[in-house]
Amino acid sequence: RHLVQLPGGKSKSIEILDTAGSFSFPAMREVYIRSSDSFLIVIALDDKDSLEYAINMKKEIVAIKGDSIPMLLVGNKDDAAKREISPELAAATAKEHFGSAYIETSAKTGRNCQQMLVRICTGDLKQNAMMEVVKKQGSLKKITRKSSKKTFRIYTK
């Protein structure tokens, strides 16, 4: 469980499951997808192949959950010395394949990690500045039921 501090002094309790290792077991992956309310799809900015992986993961999620499920495309390792994915390429890919912008983060330094969670929890999934891109395939508010529990899946290569 993770408590996300939201604007206005509110907070939301969410469950984040990193399922990077689940892909050896397709049946488990489908269970994870079916049981999730929102998705963070993470690309490694120092690994160009992760972009294609993210596109394929998005297709799999849409095939199982439909195209109205909230997703956020996240570029991680923005602190990496050697980038293989430029901000422009990531933003263009997000727009073309995800219908959105995207956000860059660093798990190492924590940069933009809280903002990433706030945006998906509040439904701030609109295309903003080129560097801040998040998927809007429906309103998170429509999916956020009265329950305060939310399950997110993090897919990384």
What pLDDT, in 10s, does the model give residues 41-58?
999 999 999 999 999 999
pTM: 0.75
Residue pair 142/72 in contact (Cβ under 8 Å)? The answer is no
Q: Select the more confidently predicted residue: 8 or 84.
A: 84
CA distances from 58 to 3, 25, 70 (A): 26, 17, 11
Q: What integer pLDDT is reported at residue 137 of this predicted model? A: 29
Half-sphere exposure of 35 (CA within 13 A, CB side): 14
Residue pair 99/59 in contact (Cβ under 8 Å)? The answer is no
Mean pLDDT over each residue of the chain, to the nearest integer: 77
What pLDDT, in 10s, does the model give residues 113-123?
998 998 888 77
Q: Select the more confidently predicted residue: 17 or 57.
A: 57
9, 123, 131: which is closest to 71 by C-alpha?
123
Q: Which domains are seen in the chain, by residue range?
A: 2-155 (3.40.50.300)
Cα 83 from chain centroid (whole Å): 20
